[in-house]
C-alpha cells in the first residue's frame, strides 16, 4: 500500500468516525429533551366540578360554557322537559351563541 492510499483510508475513517460521533450526540440530545419533557409534564389532575352535573336537578349556580358542553354530553338521553341540568346547559349554550334552537312551524 502506498502512502497516498493509507492517507485516503485514514481520511475516510476519520470522516466516518466524525459522522458516528455527530449521530450519537444528536441521539443524546433527543433523549435529554424527552427526559425534560417527561419531568415537566403535569401529574394526574383532579377535576372538581361545581355544580355537579351527574344529577338531573337544576344547578344552583349558572353553568360555564365548558360545564354546559359536558352536561349536554352526560344528559344526552334525558328529555329537556324533565332534566333541569340539560335545560340549564341548553340555556347557557344558546345564550353564548354555541347552540341554535330549531324552529318548527306547524
Model confidence pLDDT, tens digit, residues 89-106: 999 999 999 999 888 776
pLDDT value of position 30? 84
pLDDT of residue 104: 76
Domain coverage including residue 88: 47-106
Please report, for residues 1, 36, 39, 88, 91, the alpha-carbon distance to residue 82 in angstroms, rounded to integers and kept in the order given.
Answer: 95, 51, 48, 12, 14
Number of domains the chain is built from: 2
What pLDDT, on the 0 to 100 scale, is given for residue 2? Answer: 76
pLDDT, position 29: 87
Residue 60, C-alpha cell as written in the block: 344552583
pTM above 0.85, yes or no: no
Q: Are residues 7 and 40 in the same domain?
A: yes
Q: Are residues 59 and 78 in the same domain?
A: yes
Residues 51 and 101 in one domain: yes
List the chain residues with pLDDT less than 70: 1, 41-52, 106
Amino acid at each position: 500500500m502506498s502512502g497516498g492510499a493509507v492517507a485516503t483510508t485514514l481520511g475516510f475513517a476519520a470522516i466516518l468516525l466524525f459522522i458516528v460521533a455527530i449521530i450519537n450526540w444528536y441521539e443524546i440530545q433527543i433523549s435529554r429533551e424527552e427526559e425534560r419533557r417527561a419531568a415537566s409534564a403535569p401529574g394526574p389532575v383532579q377535576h372538581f366540578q361545581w355544580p355537579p352535573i351527574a344529577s338531573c336537578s337544576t344547578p344552583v349556580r349558572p353553568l360555564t360554557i365548558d360545564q354546559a358542553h359536558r352536561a349536554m354530553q352526560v344528559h344526552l338521553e334525558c328529555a329537556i322537559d324533565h332534566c333541569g341540568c340539560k335545560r340549564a346547559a341548553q340555556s347557557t349554550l344558546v345564550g353564548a351563541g354555541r347552540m341554535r334552537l330549531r324552529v318548527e312551524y306547524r
